[in-house]
Amino acid sequence: MLQFKEILSYIFVIGAAQAIQLAVFLLRKKENKTANKLLAITMIIFSIDFILGVLYVTGNILKFPQLIILNISFPFLYGPNIYLYVLLLTKNQKNFKPLYLLNYIPFFTIHFCGLFIFYFKDQSFYATLLYGNQFWYTQIITNLIPVSGIIYTAFSVMLAIKYNKAIRNSFSNIDKINLKWLIYLVTGTIIIWLIVVFAFIVELFAGTHNANLLIYVGMSVFLFGIGYKSLKQPEVSIVKLQDKEEEDSKSKTQHYKKSGLSDAAASDYLNKLFKYVEENKPYLKNDLNVSDLAAGVEISTHNLSEIINSKLGQNFYDFINKYRIEEVKKLIEKDKNTVYSILALGYDAGFSSKSAFYSAFKKVTGITPAQYRSDIQKNKAV
Distance separating alpha carbons of residues 274 and 271, to the nearest angstrom: 5
Average pLDDT over residues 273-295: 93
pLDDT: is 160 or 284 the higher one? Answer: 284
> CA 36: distance to chain centroid?
13
| Residue 231, pLDDT above cutoff 60 | no
Number of CB atoms found within 10 A of residue 116's CB? 8
Distance separating alpha carbons of residues 307 and 14, to the nearest angstrom: 53
pLDDT number for residue 132: 61
pLDDT: is 1 or 375 the higher one? Answer: 375
| Residue 36, pLDDT above cutoff 70 | yes
pLDDT number for residue 102: 96
pLDDT: is 208 or 48 the higher one? Answer: 48
pLDDT number for residue 382: 59
Q: What is the pLDDT of residues 58-117, one digit of tens each?
A: 878 878 877 877 778 888 999 999 999 989 888 877 889 999 999 999 999 988 887 777
pLDDT: is 150 or 89 the higher one? Answer: 150
- 117 in Cβ contact with 190 (< 8 Å): no
Going from the C-alpha of 349 to that of each of 82, 152, 200, 357, 365, the distances in angstroms are 39, 42, 53, 9, 16
Q: Which residues contact residue 22 at a Cβ distance below 8 angstroms, ignoring those fewer than 6 apart?
A: 40, 43, 223, 226, 227
Q: Which residues contact residue 106 at a Cβ distance below 8 angstroms, ignoring those fewer than 6 apart?
A: 76, 144, 148
Question: Is 150 exposed, middle or buried (CB count within 10 Å of its CB: 0-12, 13-18, 19+)?
Answer: middle
Report phi then psi at 196, rounded to 5. Answer: -60, -45
User: What pTM did the predictor assign?
Assistant: 0.78
Going from the C-alpha of 297 to that of each of 260, 272, 277, 282, the distances in angstroms are 18, 7, 8, 10
| Residue 253, pLDDT above cutoff 50 | no
Average pLDDT over residues 10-25: 86
| Residue 160, pLDDT above cutoff 90 | no
Q: Identify the CA nearest to 75 among candidates 100, 106, 34.
A: 106
Q: DSSP secondary-structure letter at 309?
A: I
Q: Identify the CA nearest to 299 among candidates 346, 343, 252.
A: 252
pLDDT number for residue 179: 66
Q: Which stretch of 13-22, 202-211, 243-252 has the lowest confidence by average pLDDT?
A: 243-252
Average pLDDT over residues 133-144: 78
User: Confidence class of residue 120 from pLDDT cuts 50, 70 and 90?
Assistant: confident
Domains and CATH numbers, the chain: 4-227 (1.20.1070.10), 239-313 (no CATH), 318-382 (1.10.10)
Average pLDDT over residues 51-61: 83
| 289 bridge partner residues | 171
Helix (H, G, I), strand (E, B) or coil at 170: coil
User: Confidence class of residue 200 from pLDDT cuts 50, 70 and 90?
Assistant: confident
pLDDT: is 4 or 328 the higher one? Answer: 328
pLDDT number for residue 229: 60
Angle, vertex CA 79, rays to CA 204 and CA 51, nearest 5: 75
Residue type, 123: Q
Q: What is the pLDDT of residues 309-367, one digit of tens each?
A: 988 999 999 999 999 999 999 999 998 888 899 999 999 999 988 888 999 999 999 99
pLDDT number for residue 226: 65
Q: Identify the CA nearest to 293 among candidates 306, 308, 277, 307.
A: 277
- 33 in Cβ contact with 88 (< 8 Å): no
